[in-house]
Amino acid sequence: MPTHRPPLRLLAALIGLAAASAARADAGLRLRASSGLLQRLDPQVQILEPLFIRADSISGQQDIEVQASGDVALRRHSVVVKADWLHDDLVSSEVRARGDVRILRDGNLYRGPSAKLNLDTETGSMPSVDYSFARTGGRGHASDVRFLGPQHVRAADADYTTCTASPLDWVLQARDLDLDFADNTGVAHDGKVRFKGVTILPLPYASFPLTDARKSGLLPPTIGLDSRNGFEYAQPYYWNIAPNYDATLTPRLLLRRGLMGSAEVRWLRPDGSGTALLDDIPDDRAAGGAQRWAAVLQQQGVLAPQWNYSLNLQRVSDNNWWQDFGTVDPVIGANRTLPQQGQMTWNQRHGYLQLGFNRWQTLQSTISPITAPYNIQPQLDGRWHSSSTDPVQWRVSTEAARFTTPTAGLLSGDRVYVNPSLRVPFIVPQGFFTPQLTLRATRYRTDSPMANGSEDATRVLPTLSLDSGLVFERATSLLGHAVTQTLEPRLYYLYTPYRAQQNLPNFDSAPLGLNLASIYTNNLFSGNDRIADASDLTAGATTRLLDARTGAEYARLTVAQRLLLRAQRVTLTGAPVPSGLNDTFALASVAFDPHWNATAGVDYNLRGAQLVQGQFGAYWHPSAFHTLSVSYQIQSATATQIALKYVNAAWQWRMSGRWYSVGQANYSIQDKQLNNSLFGFEYDGGCWVARFVLQRNALTAATATTRVLFQLELTGLSRLGINPLSALEQNIPGYQLLNQPTSPPSRYANYE
């Protein structure tokens, strides 16, 4: 029977650890429960770290050496060594092992025929090693591995992959591979990436992070094809300046235009955060050698307690930037109205005061011109209100602003308004009744005469609204489920006297969108320049189906009818609206199952027998990687809106095996043409993913740009090609990323 004798060093370590614990207890320390194992010992405790050796046979000399054979396992808190034979020099802490040696450190496993390891410094060597890393899930082989410290490894003639099937689909090979887990740095010398037996990326020298943590170094290059710019190659460099500062510098070659330089700088401070971006092409061959650029500065932060600020400044060199570089610029993109905005806000418990400015750079096109929005600078506005629990509630909003515009024929000038309101809500479980009185006082001073020849105007208008509703409930069942059905009739009366406003400038008023708030509203227009006269009665009802146990809403239907008791004389076009039945509204939503839902809305004008606007949307997600959404929108031509009729569909669908279809299509039924769209496929190779996407963006009714997006993702290593993920995530609701990254496992996940 083999003997089992623990070395004296082990006994001494255990006695010392117990003595240290007792001393700490005497000093007033107490044991505390922990929900997880301690992954790192304190430095002062490491010298007392006990050593365990288990084997079929153990022999040795006291305080000199230990020799073990037969299923040997040496354990310390930070390392496990297993072998057929092991020798431990207790004086030098040198361990030699032979026969199916396995060394496990921090969840990383190294396996080979023999090994030398110093247990105190955790340095040593191991020939012909197979290894696997817990953090990345990758594995590989090296002709020789040297352990340079507790978290530092260097491998010669090494390869690395996350593939498990043979032959390997992809592999990273390097003459020398240096992995510093403490510094999160990997360095490969004389390396290359091979995919399906073909070298796709030579790496004479490469420095890369071992996790998702930030690290300076070259990022994977971007390669693409654009119908407007031709072949594109970009090589980003990431600069980890400080824990709260970083930058990405990207030289870019656009074959049809020349060289472009891009820089993005980000910062995060206790008093604020921000981003700055700059794109510059000094000599655009496709634009006659002109210099072209785009700049963005976004910053927000805190100036003092209760004081905060924000900036959003965007500008480009010329009107054609959105057409030529809409697919290149990550922030501006194809936007045609670029903001230059800034606000400083003083926050109070029941309100705020804000000083700001809002300018726009409008990128015009002779083929498809757009109306430039008004610039507002400066703008001082405030909001104050009472507590929502007060029996009598008040609210005051006020603003003083200057409006300017580059559009000829439109008025510029100053506007000041004060809008106080008073409401007395009566709310009981069976319903509510809320009378509200609002006063709108507005003063204008224009730079040029208005239609009546005056440059000064004042308008004061009171508004009375009476909002009332009841709530009825009944218990019923639906498809075998207990539900509560509600019936909520609502009656809304609105009175605003007439004031002539056709001569006043219109800085910010527009038609309201279709939603529940716009049905029961005290002004039929947004903004503050047009206030509709009204003696209107809106009657409606809402019914809802609620889960009797959880209260989750399965379905909702709202129907409402607006009745004009007198003609509405204030409109955006000048033509009055006769009295009588006006708009009929219907809003519906259904979500009986978490995997699908549908919504619909209709605004129908009874008098004109015209569908003003309608919208429908449905979303279906039966299982993972099966997503389909469809929407339809129609808008009739009126004096304030253009005719629209289009359908939009988007999907991600697992077809069979490893193939996935992705796409989005926006089709104008009225123009009989495809607008923005993308179509593509994804292939999941297990340890790699390939994505191929063709994207089309309409610039005008007659022109569009097409872009080819191809990406090869080597799981656990890098993504090569031009990234289509942002386009897929923006255009496909519910898009799911293949090979979704997860948090790295504990080092005890592979514990032996």
Q: Are residues 561 and 707 in the same domain?
A: no
CA dihedral in degrees (717, 722, 726, 730; nearest 10)?
-140
pLDDT for the residue 30: 64
Q: Give the 3-state DSSP-derived string for 189-216, with helices as H, strands as E and coil as C.
A: EEEEEEECCEEEEEEEEEEEECCCCCCC
Q: Are residues 528 and 643 in the same domain?
A: no
Question: Domain ends where: 72, 95, 118?
Answer: 95
Please write the tens of the pLDDT for every residue from 538-553: 999 999 999 998 889 9
Is residue 345 one of the residues assigned to a domain?
no
Q: Are residues 633 and 744 in the same domain?
A: yes
Please write the tens of the pLDDT for every residue from 332-351: 877 889 999 999 999 999 99
Is residue 119 one of the residues assigned to a domain?
no
Residue with tokens 């153990």: 58
Pairing of strands 290-304, 307-316: antiparallel
d(CA 530, CA 571): 8
630: Cβ–Cβ under 8 A, 6 or more apart, which residues?
617, 618, 647, 648, 649
Is residue 700 one of the residues assigned to a domain?
yes
Q: Are residues 658 and 567 in the same domain?
A: no
Q: Are residues 498 and 564 in the same domain?
A: yes
| DSSP assigned state of 59 | E
Mean pLDDT of the chain: 87
Q: Are residues 668 and 589 in the same domain?
A: no
Q: Are residues 573 and 716 in the same domain?
A: no
Does 461 or 90 have the greater pLDDT score?
Answer: 461
pLDDT for the residue 280: 95
For the ranges 24-38, 81-95, 116-130, 693-707, which has the lowest average pLDDT?
A: 24-38
Is residue 280 one of the residues assigned to a domain?
no
For the ranges 148-152, 182-186, 411-415, 655-659, which has the lowest average pLDDT?
A: 182-186
Q: What would the mean pLDDT of 674-687 be, rounded to a whole number?
A: 91
Q: Are residues 457 and 535 in the same domain?
A: yes
Q: Which SS3 state, helix, strand or coil, does residue 24 take?
A: helix
> What is the Cα Rg of the chain in Å?
35
Is residue 116 one of the residues assigned to a domain?
no
- Band of pLDDT at residue 1, cut at 50, 70 and 90: very low
Contact 73, 97 (CB under 8 A): no
pLDDT for the residue 29: 57
Please write the tens of the pLDDT for every residue from 477-521: 888 889 999 999 999 999 999 999 999 999 999 888 888 888 999
Q: Is the pLDDT of residue 748 over 70?
A: no
Q: Which SS3 state, helix, strand or coil, does residue 248 take?
A: strand
Q: Are residues 586 and 659 in the same domain?
A: no
HSE-CB at 244 with a 13 A cutoff on CA atoms is 7
pLDDT for the residue 60: 87
Question: Domain ends where: 53, 73, 95?
Answer: 95
d(CA 361, CA 363): 6
Parent domain of 66: 1-95
Q: Are residues 33 and 86 in the same domain?
A: yes
Is residue 294 one of the residues assigned to a domain?
no
Question: Domain ends where: 95, 120, 135?
Answer: 95
Q: Are residues 507 and 441 in the same domain?
A: yes
Domain count, the chain: 3
Is residue 650 one of the residues assigned to a domain?
yes
Q: Is the pLDDT of residue 28 over 90?
A: no
Most confident of 2-6, 40-44, 406-410: 406-410
Work out the number of other CB atoms within 10 angstroms of the CB of residue 382.
18
pLDDT for the residue 746: 59
Q: Are residues 571 and 467 in the same domain?
A: yes
Is residue 354 one of the residues assigned to a domain?
no
